[in-house]
Structure 1
Amino acid sequence: MKIGRNMKCWCDSGKKYKHCHYGRDSEKSITKGEAITHSNKIAQRKCCYVPDALKEECSKKIINAHTISKSGSLIAIADSTNHVLGLKINLSNLFKSEGKLVLEKIGVNQASTFKGFCSHHDKSLFSCVEDQPFANEEDQCFALMYRSVAKELYAKEGSVISSELLKQGDKGKQPIEQFFIQKFAANNQLGVQTAIDELSEFKSKLDEQLQGHTTNEMCHLILESSAPIPVVVSSIVAPITDFNGNLIQDLGDLSVVPEYLVFNSFSSDGKGYAVLSWLKGESIAQGFIETLLVSAKEELFTKLVRFFYGVAENTFTSPAWWDSLSEPQKKKVENLIMSGVNPFEFEVESLLIDDGIRFTGWEVENITKINF
C-alpha cells in the first residue's frame, strides 16, 4: 500500500507519514543500552499517591517506600546477610535471563520499594502497620490495602510510558514487521490504560474512606499464625478463576468492570499474617474467598503459595524456606512465577487447582472475618 508523504501515518500517531514511518526500515534500531536506560528512568519516577485534597500536606521529599515492612517482615525472613529472594524485573535482567523470571537475592533495603509517597504521608498513612504490632484492626487492614493499590498504579503507569518505547522498536524493520509491532503496542497500551482507569476508580473508593467520607466499605479476611510467614507479598488482582478452576471474570472483555482483591502477607511481632481485602458487596471477590476457605486450615498455606506466586510479582521468599523445598516443589513455584508470561502455554483454569504438591512451613491457626 502506498501512502502519500503528507497523509496521516497508518500507525495512528496523528503525525504525517513523512514525519513518522516514512523510511523507518532504514533507521537505526534501538539498542539494548537505550532500552535499559529508558527502563531505569521509568523506575525512578517520583510522586505521592494521596488524593488531590491532601497533596497540599505533602513534604518535598519522595522516599523509597516499602510496600512490605522491612523491619517486621523482610528482616524476619532474610538470611544472615539480610537478603531475601525475589524477582528483579527490569530490562537488564530480562536480557540476561532471556526473558525468564527467576528468584534472585535482593537486599531488604531494596526489596519491595517504590517512589510513590512523600515522607510525610508515608509516615502518617502507614505508621499504624509500620510502628505498631498488627492487631487485626480495620485501619491497619485499610492501610495495607491503600499501599498495595498505589504500588500497582505506579507500576501500570510505568507500563504506559514503556509502551511508547515499544512503538519505537520497529525502527530498522520491514513494513510488515512494523505493522505487527505497532499493532501489538497499541493493543498493549489499550489494555494497560483500561487497567489504570479501573484501578483509579477502585482507588477513588479508598480515597473516599481515607478522607472520612465513607466508612466500613471494605471486607477483610485475616489468616494468622504464631510463626512468621516465609512468603511475603503485597499486591492486587482481579482474579480470573477461583480455587476450583471456575472462570469467574472474563478480563478479555474490556466492557467488563472487574472486581479486585487486595492481598498482603507479612510478619509482625513474631507472628505471621495473610490479609485479603475487597470492596463490600462484591460477590465475585466474596465467592473467590469462599473457595479458599472450604479447605482445612492445614491446606490453606499451599493455596496461598499457588495464589501469591501465580498472580503477583511483588512477592519475596525466605531463603531458608526455599532451600528446604524439594525439587518438585521448587519446580512448581518456578512454573507459577512464569504463569501468564507466555499466553500460548498458560492454562488459566489450572492455575489455582490442587495438583497434589503440598507446601509446609506455615500453618494458619486463627481466621478473622471483618465486615462479612
Structure 2
Amino acid sequence: MGDCDGGIIKAHTVSRGPNLTKIAKDGHVLQYVASISDMNKNGGKLSVKKIGVKDASVFHGFCGKHDRELFSCIENEAFTGRPDQCLAVAYRTMSRELYGKDAGAHLRETLRDADKGLKPFEQIMLQQMLDEIDKGNEAARRELKATHDALTTALVDARPNILSSLVFKFAAPLPFMFAGAWSPFTDLNGGELQKGYVDELLEQIIVSSFAGVSSAMICVSWRNITDAPGYVIAEQLLALPDDQRASACLQFVMKHVENVFFDPDWFQGLDGKQKERLNQLASDGLDVMGSVPSMPVHFDVDFPLPASAGSFQV
C-alpha cells in the first residue's frame, strides 16, 4: 500500500476493527477459519477457532498519527451513528478490504512457483487457475480503490454526505460482531443487483456492528448514488419484522464478510441445525475460483437473537 510520507497508508502499523471485548470470554472470541489444511482434515468444511481479541480484526494499514486523527470519533467516543462516525467506519473498513486484496495478489505470485514437480498438464491448469483468480482480484481491487479514493477525498474535505447509512438499534447485546465491505451481486432474496461485467465498476455495501454495555447497533452504509445496491439491501432489512433483522444481518455477513466474530458461550449453545446453517453460509461461494455467494436469507432456522428496537437513517 506504500509508506505514509504525508499520506494515510503505511504497511507496518496497526488498526483495529470492532471492539470485541463485549462478546469475548476470557479474552477470546470464535471465528470461522478457511485453512486449507484444516479443510482437508474436515472433509472440506471450515473450522471454528478461538482467537484472542488483541489479534482479531487487526490489519497493518495506518500510521499511528493518522490512525489517531482519522478514527478518534469512533475510538474515543461511543458510536451514535453521526455522519462523521459512519464515514470513519466506512473508510477504515474499505481500507482493510483494499489492503487484503493487495496482500492476496502477493500470495498468488508466490503460489506460481508451487507447480514445480507437477506434470506439464497440471502446471498449465494451475497457472490458468491463478490467472483467472488474478483477473477477478484485479477487478475487485479496481472497484474497491475507486470507492476508497472517493471516501478519502470526502474524509479530507469533511463531506460525510458522500455516504448514506441505515443504523439499526438493539436494546440488548448481540452475540456476534463484524466489519466488512463487498460488491453485492444479489440482495437478501437472491435477486440480482449487479452483473459484474469486466468493464463495470461495482458499488459496495459497507457494514459494521457496535456493542454497548446493554445494547448494540448495526450500521449499513453505501455511496450516496441513485439505485445503489446498498440502498436496496438496507430497505429490505428495514421491511423485515423487528425479530428477524438480527438474523438477516447475521446470515448476510456470514456469506460475505471474513471478520465475523462470536461470543463463545452463545456459539457453543447453538444446536446442530443452527450450526449447520452457519456452516452453509460461511462456505457459500468458497472455492478456488472465488464464486459469488448466492444463498438467500432464510428464516426456517431460528437463532437466539434480540429483536431490533428501532432504526434511523443518516
TM-score (norm 1): 0.78
State the partner residue of 1:162. Answer: 107
Partners of 1:303 and 1:352 within 8 A in 2: no
- Pick which of 280-289 and 102-111 moved more: 280-289
Structure 1: 5+ residue runs without aligned partners?
1-45
Structure 2 counterparts to residues 1-372 of structure 1, below 5 A: 54-55=7-8, 62-69=12-19, 74-79=20-25, 81-89=26-34, 100-212=45-157, 214-251=159-196, 253-283=197-227, 284-342=229-287, 348-349=293-294, 351-370=295-314
Closer/same/farther in 2, CA of residues 270 and 118 from structure 1, 3 Å limit: farther
Closer/same/farther in 2, CA of residues 273 and 181 from structure 1, 3 Å limit: same
- CA offsets, 1:337-361, max 9 Å, x none? 11111389x8954x13325112222
Tell me the CA shift for residue 139 of structure 1: 0.9
Task: Give the whole-Å Cα distance in 1 for the aligned partners of 2:11 and 2:91.
Answer: 20
Query: Greater CA radius of gyration, 1 or 2?
Result: 1
Tell me the CA shift for residue 98 of structure 1: 6.4
Task: Give the whole-Å Cα distance in 1 for the aligned partners of 2:306 and 2:47.
Answer: 23
Closer/same/farther in 2, CA of residues 99 and 112 from structure 1, 3 Å limit: farther
Closer/same/farther in 2, CA of residues 157 and 61 from structure 1, 3 Å limit: closer
Tell me the CA shift for residue 268 of structure 1: 3.1
Task: Give the whole-Å Cα distance in 2 for the aligned partners of 1:61 and 1:353.
Answer: 37
Sequence identity (%): 28
Task: Indicate the RMSD between aligned Cα atoms, in angstroms.
Answer: 2.5
Partners of 2:32 and 2:282 within 8 A in 1: no
State the SS of the aligned residue for 1:63: coil
- Pick which of 197-206 and 96-105 moved more: 96-105
Task: Give the whole-Å Cα distance in 2 for the aligned partners of 1:298 and 1:362.
Answer: 7
Tell me the CA shift for residue 214 of structure 1: 4.2
State the SS of the aligned residue for 1:277: strand
Structure 2: 5+ residue runs without aligned partners?
none
State the SS of the aligned residue for 2:296: coil
